[in-house]
Each structure stands twice: as structure tokens, then as C-alpha cells.
Amino acid sequence: MDIFVDIIQLKKSRKDVPMLCLIDDGQGMNHDEVMKMVSFGHKQSDKVDTDHIGKFGVGFKTGAMRLGRDVLVLTQTTTSRSLAFLSQSLNEGKDNIEIPIVSYCRQGQRMEVDLSMQSEALAKYNLKAIKDFSPFNKYLIGEKAALFGTGTGTQIYIWNLDEWGSKYCLEWHDGLKGGSSFHQGDILIRSKRIRSRPGHISQKVPLDYSLRAYLEIIFLVPRMKISVQRSLVKSRPLSKFLTQTVIETGEILRRPVELIIGFNQLEWERANCGMFLYWHGRLIEAYKRVGGMIHSADVGRGVIGVVDVTNLMDDEDGRVWVHNNKQGFQDSEHYACLEQWLGRKADEYWDKNFDALELNIDNCVFKPDHEWVQCDKCRKWRILPTDFDSRNLPLQWFCFMEPFKGQCSDSEQKMALGIVNVSTKRSGYDCLLKDSNDKKVEGDRKTSGTDEKLIHYEDVKFPALKRLRKGPRKRIWD
């Protein structure tokens, strides 16, 4: 599935109206599904569907109403088309909320008003309300509906955006033509505020205010293509971008849990660390500090954990321990036990691997245990050979290309469970020191049959970290 997120400009009363636009080419929604999406007091059934990402929808009403006052939803299936209008402007001063919905059914090659869902008079009344309180007239509605063609999908338009001071709460930038990775389009929260997290002091957390950075890691197993401001978002599943990777398994309240934990160079440079908690394949909580990370900004620096908590946070009776806005978990025994288990595992990892990471070496850069590339057709991830430079990859890569030269039908490679993966791209932890004439520094840990390839990172000098003493300071007697 392809998803496009853009800010567009439409004319209303001779003024340009900025509008947040989200378009996908999924299967669309019928009348009943649209009704549940925009109406209040509905929720999805509790049945489990492994093909669904997330649960209870995507917090549509909560999210949309925080961004703007008015929302138009246009969706099409193989047999129907629906138009729904969720508007504060329309309902201002009214005691009863009106949500105009117009549904059509396919009759041959045309879409006709579905009289089994509403009367013709009601359809005309609702359509007039949409035209009167939105920038959409009949021509613009027809133009947007024509984007579906004979296919299916959903379009969402949000306008009268929330304001921040004299400007809108969102700011947007178009990417430069040519596919430059340094000038990609993005939609940002204008305030660029960092969310409060216990023990967290870093101000470099782009996913808190950048839509592109958030979408890079929002899915545990990214399969769909997402574009922001007409430039493709490159997925960055965190578990595939770690070095010194360890896979921990255990049980919490008799339910299995798996944690993938390792060191991430980019997060170390930003002074970040913590656990990323996914539920039904979607990111719920990021940079959650546990164990010793809570009490010191230096403990755990660069250490990232990835865990899927679906089995733990879903009760057998259908209750879930996730907030409706999908931004956190409810306080529960399940969550408290999870925090303790993650804290214990994070502290063990830090104690065992801190010295091996050799963070006191200047200009040392650690690469992931494996480098991966995602096919732009089948969306499967492939491991690159140790002697292949990932910088030589084209912007669009497919399975038949170098160096994989396979087929999309080939099974996806996965990391083995219950083992420590030591990178095959270095001997110990190789790095290049500035002005050292390619002098190689090797770590204490070594692997047999490893490559002697050096990792370059010039003109950067990182401050050395000091290991914190555990327990109370020794008292010195005179």
C-alpha cells in the first residue's frame, strides 16, 4: 500500500487555505465503516486479525480534531463510495452534533446515490452542508473522486489548522528535486518541543516533532511506501540498525516476551537511549528509559531496545492496556512488570558491554552488525554482503539488482534467536582515528573470519564517557 501525506493549498473566499492531505490506495471503507470512523461512541470488535496494524482504528477523531477544526473523508471500495464531513465549524453553537455522510453505490460504470443507506433528500442536504462549510464544491469533489479511477482507497483532508501564535501549529517544507537525501520534504510541529521523559536531557529527538522521522520507525515491520511532501520516506526498523546486538527472551506474567537490544551510533551522538515499545506492529512509546537509565543521562547512552508487547498488553477478555491516542500505556500490573524486566535486562547489557564498546576512543564509529536494504517492490529486507558499500545503492532498489540478484519471492532473512551477533564488518570494533594515517584500533573482543574493513568518520570528535560507580561512594578516613 502507498500513503501520501502533503500540505496543499485550496481557495476559499479568495484566500489560500492550507490543508493537510492524506491519501492511500488501500481497500477503502464502506458506509458502515465510515460511520464508525467519524461517529462517536464506536469501537472496532475485539477479534484478532493478524493482517491489521494497530487496533481500534488509528485514533482518527482524537488526532484529526487536534490538528484542525474540519475534516473531509472521501473513500472508495470496489462497489461503493462515501463522503463524510466531521466539522467544528458546522456544529459551532449547536446542541446536537451533525456529521454529514453521503454514500454512493456502483451501478455499472457510474456511482449513484445509495438509497439503501439514506434518502435522496438527506443525501442532498448533507452534500449541501459539505459545500457550504468547506472549500469543496461539486467540481472539486468530482476532481478528487476521479483520483481513484477504477481503483480503491481513502483521502482525508484537514483544514482550519490549529494555530500557534500568529502562525499555524504545523510548518512544512518541500523537498528539492533530484532525490537529495539532505533536502527531503517534511511536516513539522512548529514549536519543536521535546516530550518529557524521566532521566532524559537530550534536545535532539526529531521523532517528537518531525513527521518524516516518526514515520521512519513507526512500524515494527515496515511494508508500505509512505511519502511526505512528495518525497519517499526511507524506513529505518531500529532492530536492523544495531551493533553488538543481543536477543533476550523471557516471560512476564506467564506470557512470552522478546527484547532485541544493542548499540546505535546515531542515538549515541544525540545522547539518546531507551526502549521502543511496539503494539500490534505500531510504535506506542519511544526512548523509554528503564533501570539505571532513569537516574543518569550517561548510563545506557546509545543503547536501544526494541520489544513487541502485543501479547502482554492484550487481555484474554478483550481489554487492552493502551491509551486511545496510541501514545502510551495505561498503568497496570502488566506494564509495571514489563518495566522491571526491561530495566533488569538493560542494566545487564550495559554492565557486560560498556567496556567492549570502547566509547573512550576519539572519532570511533560503530556500524550495525548487518547492513540491510529494502526492496521497493516486495518491501522485504535483504542483508548486504560484508564487502559491499551501501553508499553505492540507488535511490530505488529491487531484489534483482546488485548485490542480492535474487527474486522478490525469496524468503526474507532474519536474525537468529538467542544469540549475540558480532559484526562481520570489523575485527573487534575497528575505527579510524583522525590524522592517524589509517591506523586501526582493535577492541578486546574478536571474531574469527572477520573483515579488516575500517569505518571512516572524519573531522568529528566525540566527548569521552566516564563509567559511573555503582553503589555508595567509599568513605576515606584521615
The residue with greater pLDDT, 175 or 94, is 94
pLDDT above 50 (res 453): no
pLDDT digits (tens, 9 = 90+) for 49-100: 555 544 444 568 778 888 999 999 999 999 999 999 999 999 998 888 899 9
d(CA 347, CA 342): 9
103 forms beta bridges with 82
> Which of 114-123, 303-312, 457-466 has the lowest average pLDDT?
457-466
pLDDT at 463: 52
Confidence at residue 383, expressed as pLDDT on a 0 to 100 scale: 82
The neighbour count for residue 35, using CB atoms within 10 Å, is: 17
Q: In this prediction, what percent of the chain has a pLDDT beyond 70? A: 78
Q: How far is CA 64 from the centre of its chain?
A: 18
Query: DSSP code of 411?
Result: P
- Does position 214 have pLDDT exceeding 70, yes or no? yes
Q: Residue 218 in contact with residue 38, Cβ under 8 Å?
A: no
Q: Which of 402, 298, 412 is nearest to 354 (CA)?
A: 298
What average pLDDT does range 94-109 have in this prediction? 91
Q: Reduce the DSSP state of residue 102 to 3 states and report it.
A: strand
Percent helix, strand and coil across the chain, each to the nearest 5? 20, 25, 55
The answer to whether residues 399 and 382 touch, using CB atoms and an 8 Å cutoff, is yes
pLDDT, position 23: 95
Regarding predicted confidence, which is higher, 260 or 45? 260
Residue among 281, 381, 257 nearest 51 (CA): 281
Q: Return the percentage of the chain with pLDDT > 90, whole number.
A: 44
Q: With CA atoms as reference, report the closest residue to 23 among 39, 44, 1, 38.
A: 1
Would you say residue 272 has pLDDT above 90?
yes
- The pTM (predicted TM-score) of the whole model is 0.75
Residues 271 and 293: their CA atoms lie apart, in Å, by: 12
Q: Is the pLDDT of residue 407 over 80?
A: yes
381 pLDDT higher than 90: no
Structure confidence at residue 326 (pLDDT): 80
Highest mean pLDDT among 11-20, 189-198, 417-426: 189-198
74 contacts 83 by C-beta, under 8 angstroms: yes
b/e map of 317-352 (b: 16 or more CB within 10 Å)?
eeebbbeeebeebeeeebbeebbebbbebbbebbee
